[in-house]
Structure 1
Amino acid sequence: MHDPDDPTRYQEVLVSPMYLAGSGGTGDAGFAPIAHWPHHYLDEGPCQLLVTSPDGRIRVGWFGDDFEPWKISAAEDAVSAPRWTATFNHVTPPELVAGLTTALAQDYAEAAACEDDARFLASPSLYWRDAVRPLTEAGWTRDGGAELGTVEITAPGDGQAGILIDNRQRGADAETVELWAGPPGWGTRAEAIFTRRTPTHLIAATAAVMANAGPVIRERHQVARQMEHLVTLTPLVPATPVADSQVSRAPTPLDVRRTAVTQAVYRAARAPRTTADLRVMAAQSRSAGAAQHRSASLAPAAAARPPATSPTPRHGR
């Protein structure tokens, strides 16, 4: 718990690595790639906001008060049961969710343009290595101590993130892939769970964001105390006292350079991690109408409230 009287409580900081930054309490980044899709605001029920593809086949639900605030799925048509489902818990950075929603937006745009079969309904690869290639190419390594019938790839250095693939489960809706980050615990372990029929390239797109350990912006109080020793926090605007003799002095060339560097890092951390085409789509989505919907959709997305009892982590984590 952060001291409410701490003057740096709301200070914006760069948090690195990204996968340990926590959720920040809202889903802005996760919704950005699909902000141009239809929004459905639900007054009743646990799902507060449902964003769908124009044909209703892709559904992105925000359950802001639940342990798993994100539930994303795709179906053959708007009224069919989901072919696959992905869930993200309340600790998962929304930038990681954006890895999936970005890929879904691109798949849908390509399918609409070419009137071709949708990749977001493709059968998964027979080879588990295809799903983890962005991680292995970034130096993540296989954990030799994983249980028989499972494969686990972990982050180099801190070992505080990984992907677990469970090949023992055969049901169509079995939860077979888990991206995780952080030590076990209700407030520290981020989890993204994919069911068995999730297209491999969508898992890989999500994993690719996790492989990029670059910083993201959070307010200092949004980083859990028990995580601070695992991350690097860099204030965007250093809180340094100003001596009386310096109050009226003009900025030096060094001051100007430092300001430029800080602003460049700030812009890089704020920029969505998408392909060039999707950056254009995201820019278009921030039209006047989309902006009005965005402010309304994220109002109920306050920080997820903990349940009365802590749930048991998946896979023993």
Structure 2
Amino acid sequence: MPSPDPLALDPISDVLVSPGYLAGPGDSHSIFNALDLAPGWTKAVAFGTDTYYTSPCQRVRVANAAESFYGGWTVSYAEDPLGVPDWITTFDRNTPHEIVAAFTKTLVNGLHNNFADYLSGGQHYTGISSASLTARHRWEPVHGSRPFRTVSPDGHAAYQMRVGWLHEYDELLTLEKSTWRMSVGTDPVYAPSWQAFFSRYTPQHLIAASTAAFTDPTPVARALDHIPDRHRSLVSITREATARPNPLATAALARSTQAQAIHAPPRPTAPTTIAMHAGSRRQR
């Protein structure tokens, strides 16, 4: 009988991790691909590691500056392409890629008509807010907190909103003063593993798109050794229901004259739980 210990698996084995906000950043190819394929967007690579995208209207800049303080992705919008940004959103380098991709995909899809399709009366308008999403998934408000915040049922994720007046330029210059923030970790407020910041005028439907991915309880796919060590005791890990085929074995089977006579046993229809609180074989 196979060992239930996930460490008995190859470290690069694909597993499903829940909750997704603790799964680590994962593969960011989906973000790059969406921007690479966006019609009319331009791309520039600087310093060998930093990637910059510009929208056709020149109002949006997307940067993946790997060696910057926060790393990750920064998105800015300026009505005047040469002026001060109207809003800035930053996802640090450890933010799960599903959360970033939800934001950038919605941004790219709606920018051509200034998000009219996502506003009231538009074909993609849902009326769903970040507050309703956290409430739907039973996140609890922390009464009396400043900034106001709601916390996930496990206590390891927080969504907060700063209240009170602050000059808009202050939050553009200092991310920690942003109106909205997502944060995750063993102590998501004071010692977060990752953070995302949204300044006051970031369109609400973009924030809601990221919040939907942030609060989604569906497990996400990761390589086993990409789960952050500090989160191993906080997540549930299950084997993927369908293993990825081995390309060499598939090719050999196709060439075999006996291929038609081979009948593989049926695959399991549901994930098999490996462990709830697993240790790590690598340090990050």
Same fold (TM over 0.5): yes
Can you list the C-alpha shifts for 1:84-113, whole angstroms capped at 9, x where unaligned?
00111121101101121122123214449x
User: Offset at 1:43?
Assistant: 2.6
- Equivalent residue, structure 1, for 2:111: 108
Q: In the aligned structure 2, how far is the partner of 1:64 from the partner of 1:208?
A: 26
Q: In the aligned structure 2, how far is the partner of 1:221 from the partner of 1:29?
A: 20
Determine whether 1:91 maps to 2:94.
yes
Higher relative contact order by CA 8 Å / sep ≥ 6: 1 or 2? 1
Q: In the aligned structure 1, how far is the partner of 2:262 from the partner of 2:207?
A: 53
Q: Is the CA contact (8 Å cut-off) linking 1:108 and 1:118 kept in structure 2?
A: no
Determine whether 1:19 maps to 2:21.
yes
Q: Structure 1 counterpart of 2:159, which letter?
A: I
User: What is the correspondence of 1:1-317 to structure 2 with a 5 Å cutoff?
Assistant: 8-24=10-26, 26-37=27-38, 38-44=41-47, 48-66=50-68, 67-111=70-114, 130-147=129-146, 150-156=147-153, 158-173=154-169, 174=171, 175-184=178-187, 189-236=193-240, 250-251=263-264, 255-258=265-268
Q: In the aligned structure 1, how far is the partner of 2:267 from the partner of 2:28?
A: 33
Q: Structure 2 counterpart of 1:18, which letter?
A: G
Indicate how the Cα distance of structure 1 residues 36 and 145 shifts in structure 2: closer, same or farther if over 3 A, else same: same
Q: Percent identity?
A: 27
Q: In the aligned structure 2, how far is the partner of 1:56 from the partner of 1:225?
A: 40
Can you list the C-alpha shifts for 1:204-232, whole angstroms capped at 9, x where unaligned?
22111112121111111111122111111
Q: Structure 2 counterpart of 1:132, which letter?
A: A
Q: Structure 2 counterpart of 1:221, which letter?
A: D
> Over aligned residue pairs, what C-alpha RMSD do you find?
3.2
Q: In the aligned structure 1, how far is the partner of 2:16 from the partner of 2:112?
A: 33
Can you list the C-alpha shifts for 1:140-183, whole angstroms capped at 9, x where unaligned?
22112513xx2101112x12112111113511132121011222
Q: In the aligned structure 2, how far is the partner of 1:13 from the partner of 1:261?
A: 13
Indicate how the Cα distance of structure 1 residues 23 and 187 shifts in structure 2: closer, same or farther if over 3 A, else same: farther
Q: Is the CA contact (8 Å cut-off) linking 1:10 and 1:221 kept in structure 2?
A: yes
Q: In the aligned structure 1, how far is the partner of 2:22 from the partner of 2:86?
A: 30
* Alignment gaps of 5+ in structure 2: 1-6, 120-127, 172-177, 244-260, 272-283
- Compute the TM-score of the two structures, normalised by the length of structure 2: 0.70
Q: In the aligned structure 2, how far is the partner of 1:107 from the partner of 1:192?
A: 21
Most deviating of 37-46 and 169-178: 37-46
- SS at the partner of 1:132? helix
Q: In the aligned structure 1, how far is the partner of 2:9 from the partner of 2:238?
A: 16
Indicate how the Cα distance of structure 1 residues 7 and 118 shifts in structure 2: closer, same or farther if over 3 A, else same: closer
Can you list the C-alpha shifts for 1:1-51, whole angstroms capped at 9, x where unaligned?
xxxx98621111111111111112x422333443323242223387x1112
Q: In the aligned structure 2, how far is the partner of 1:80 from the partner of 1:204?
A: 26
- Compute the TM-score of the two structures, normalised by the length of structure 1: 0.63
